[in-house]
Amino acid sequence: MRIVLLGSGNTATVLGRMILQAGHEVLQVYSRNEAHAKILGDELSCSHTNDIGSLISYGDLYLVAIADDALLAVQEWLTLGKKLVAHTAGAVSKEVLQQVSKNYGVIYPLQSLRKENRNSPSVPFLVDGNTPENTTLIIDFVTTFSNLAEIANDEQRRHLHLAAVIVNNFTNHLYLLAEKFCEDHQVDFDLLLPLIEETGTRLRNFPIRQLQTGPASRNDLRTIDEQLKMLVKYPSLRNLYQTFTESIKNEFPQLPL
């Protein structure tokens, strides 16, 4: 397919690379920021523009990979007639494209995409279309560059997006707070990397509930009390520690020490 790519951030860049690698043609990169448009256009060996009036008109698919706030106003600056258009956002309805074209849908990558990351992770996609035909067109396209493509409507995508915030954004924040705590106490955070990796990868082999260990799940009040004392100078971490301890205890109410 011939793709026109709108956007020049992490999602646009990583999707552009995947699309190109799968043998499709990227015709043009559009971005409000001309320098960014040029960088990505050059990388994908295609033209670029920051003038929406110069958008190439013969694309097979217009892929809108821009920030949510810009996407929510897309009908004010993008009109594509009958051209197939898809956005890439997890928390925005496909209907935001309703005024943009008669044919629209969503290609949402359920992964944290970073253009600097050259060892590309596996990327599942949630796809949707405003008609069964468009859904089929879109999923057939996505399947050429990902073996994990599933159809999901706005509601399902919104729920998976929230779950992604929980398992990615929140855990990453825990890593950041733990790293600072280790630095302050002159212990090597990197020693935790094998544990962090194991915590994620073993989910494929065990029920998550069985994997819960630690002072809260065994109601070890001595350790909980001692660890809360160690966190007096870390109000954010202490607050999270308490919230987690209560939540974990709720899940494991009957377990004694």
Minimum distance from residue 159 beta carbon to its own copies (Å): 4
56 vs 240, which CB is nearer to its own copies? 240
77 vs 244, which CB is nearer to its own copies? 244
Minimum distance from residue 13 beta carbon to its own copies (Å): 14
Minimum distance from residue 217 beta carbon to its own copies (Å): 7
Minimum distance from residue 53 beta carbon to its own copies (Å): 27
79 vs 168, which CB is nearer to its own copies? 168
Instruction: Name the nearest CA neighbour of 110 among 101, 98, 122, 96.
Output: 122
29 vs 113, which CB is nearer to its own copies? 113
58 vs 191, which CB is nearer to its own copies? 191
